[in-house]
Every structure is written in structure tokens, then in C-alpha cells.
Amino acid sequence: MIHFLRLIRPINLLIIAVTMYSVGGYLDIVYAEFNDGIMLIRSFNFFLLVISTVFIAAAGNIINDYFDVRADRINRPERTIIITHIKRRWAIVFHWVLNFIAFAIAIHLGLVLETFWYVFIHLLSINLLWFYSMQLKRTLVVGNVVIALLTALVPVLVGIYYQDFYRGVTLETAHPFHLNSYQFFPIYLGIGLGLFAFVLNLTREIVKDMEDVKGDLVLKARTIPIVYGLEKSRSIAVFFVFVTMALSIPIFWFWQTGAIDGIALVPLFLSALSAIFSLVILLLPINDRNLKTADLGLKLTIVFGMTLPLFWVFQLMQ
């Protein structure tokens, strides 16, 4: 059991669940006057949406390790689980069982909520994660973009779920931003957070590829560090960190206008600090230790940024 948990990376899955519930909790309060006090995050269907998303991510982690056994023996020998602790055929069984359950849930949600979006996104995610692990991961740029895009879909899924319930609703005030007539506020929020997640995960993928050069060479992969070198890859990663900081500027503007208060900015400040920390580490000499530290800093930046709506909830409850 412990080896299976290590294989699916439970901390990453917990981050996905917390992100979805924090976005959902914020949207519940924004639409409080329209839902008669009913919180959609407490609904069984929302729980199923979170579970299906987590299951697809877990299956993706399994299949990624399945195809990366040779490279992981070089890059991370201490973390090689498949073959060492779990047989390859069992890894495939776990992968397909998790995907089957997730896709069955997507069909259920599609029928109940009368939308094709869940089936489409789940099917797309399952297939992209398979092709990413098998081939796209070793393809220049495409693999990085695909995995960053799939991560960005997590808050977008929540936006779609809430949009389905509040079609045609016009908000006179969408707290805490006071945005008038935002019929599609859930989608806008999901896309906004998704953009943040996309840029940061793209940066992380580049840094991780810098860590994995030795193993990727064995697989004849064409990653950014292998094709352009470590120095250029670092410059690209640094550029994207600056882009992430630029994406935070609008939220600081809302703070200046008084639309949001100090507590709602706590995760943003923490995210900015961890981004600056990652930036500083990236500018140090390139070695395994510094790259792992920069990767950790970027991961913390993502966590703080994606839990931002949770702090907006605290503000609205005051």
C-alpha cells in the first residue's frame, strides 16, 4: 500500500482537491443570494467531480512512471517504484481501473447535468496523459505545454460546474471585485487561475527537464535543456517566473481600490515570496541541488496561488 501511495503522489492529489474546493467555496459565497444557502461544494456531484479529477491525475502519475522506468533508474533511483516494488502489469491494471472509474463518473455527471463538457475533458485528459507519458514527454516543447494545460484545466472544471448551475444569472456585485453583470464569472475565475497554473507548471516542467537531462538522453528525448542547453533553459524559466509575477499585478490593483482586504492577499504575498525565492535559486550555479530547490519553490508558488480563493472566502465571511 505504501508503495502504491508513493506511486500516485498523494500530496499532488491533495493540492488538486484543495484547489477545487477552495474555488468552489468562494463561488458558493459569491452566488449565495441565488442558491438559498445551498453550497454546491457539499453536493455529492461536486465530490464526484473532485474524485474523478484526482483519479485521472493519479492514473497519469502511474503511467508516467511506467514509461519512465529506464530514465528514473538514472535520475531518481531511490524513487523507482515500478518493477522494484510494483510489477509493471499491476501498474497498468491500477492505471486503467482509476481511469475507468473517473470516466464513468464523467458520464454520470454529463447525464445528470445535461452537458458534454465533463465527458470531453475527462476523455481528452486520459488520452493526453497516455500519449504524454508514451511519446509527447520526449517531444520538444509539446510535452511541457500539454502537462501545463492539463493542470490548468483543474480550476476551469470547477468554473464549468458552477456555470452549469448559474446559467443566465447576472451578478450585480461579484465579491470581492464588484464586477457588474458577470454572467460567466465562474468561467472567468477558472480561466484566470488556470492561466496562473499554466505558466507556473510550464516553468516547473522546464526546471524538471533540467534535472532529468541524463535520463532523458538515454530515452533520446528532445527536451528544451537537451536541444537548447541548460543556460538557455534557465533563461526561459526565469522569463516565465517574471510572467507569473506580472499576472499577479491586477490583484494588487484590486487591493489598492479597496475591493479586497489584507487577509485575502496573504497567499498572494506568500506566492510572490516563493516565486522570488525560486528566481534567486535559478540564478545560482546550475546543479542538481539548486534545481530541486527551485522546483520546490515553484511548487509552493502554485500551492499559494491556487488557494487564493480560500482566503477570499474568509474575507467575505467577515
Over residues 235-266, the pLDDT tens digits come to 999 999 988 877 776 665 555 554 455 566 67
pLDDT 10s digits, 181-226: 456 778 888 888 888 889 999 999 999 999 888 877 877 778 899 9
Cα–Cα distance, 302 to 132 (Å, whole number): 22
For residue 256, what pLDDT is reported? 53
For residue 106, what pLDDT is reported? 95
Average pLDDT, integer, range 97-110: 95
Do 203 and 275 contact (CB within 8 A), yes or no? no
For residue 148, what pLDDT is reported? 92
250 CB neighbour count, 10 Å cutoff: 11
For residue 252, what pLDDT is reported? 59
- How far the first Cα of the chain sits from its last, in Å, is 43
Asked if the model's pLDDT at residue 179 lies above 60, the reply is no
214 phi, psi to nearest 5 deg: -60, -50
Q: Which residue has the higher pLDDT, 97 or 83?
A: 97
- The mean pLDDT of the chain is 82
Asked if the model's pLDDT at residue 279 lies above 80, the reply is yes
Give 264: exposed, middle or buried? Use CB within 10 Å, 0-12, 13-18, 19+.
Answer: buried
For residue 32, what pLDDT is reported? 72
Cα–Cα distance, 45 to 112 (Å, whole number): 9
Average pLDDT, integer, range 45-67: 91
Q: Which residue has the higher pLDDT, 183 or 50?
A: 50
Axis crossing angle, helix 230-247 with helix 249-256, rounded to the nearest 10:
20
Average pLDDT, integer, range 61-86: 71
Average pLDDT, integer, range 125-134: 90
Least confident of 17-21, 35-39, 114-118, 153-157: 35-39
Asked if the model's pLDDT at residue 175 lies above 60, the reply is no
For residue 111, what pLDDT is reported? 92
Distance (Å) of CA 92 to CA 61, 86, 214, 280: 11, 10, 26, 40
For residue 263, what pLDDT is reported? 60
Q: Would the pTM count as exceeding 0.95?
A: no
Q: Nearest-CA neighbor of 182 among 213, 202, 159?
A: 159
Which pairs count as long-range contacts for 283-289, CB under 8 Å and 24+ apart, including other chains? 283/234, 283/238, 286/210, 286/230, 286/231, 286/234, 288/211
Asked if the model's pLDDT at residue 180 lies above 50, the reply is no
Tell me the longest C-alpha to C-alpha distance in the chain.
59
For residue 177, what pLDDT is reported? 46
Give 238: exposed, middle or buried? Use CB within 10 Å, 0-12, 13-18, 19+.
Answer: middle
Kindly report the CA angle at 68 between 65 and 72, in degrees rounded to 5? 95
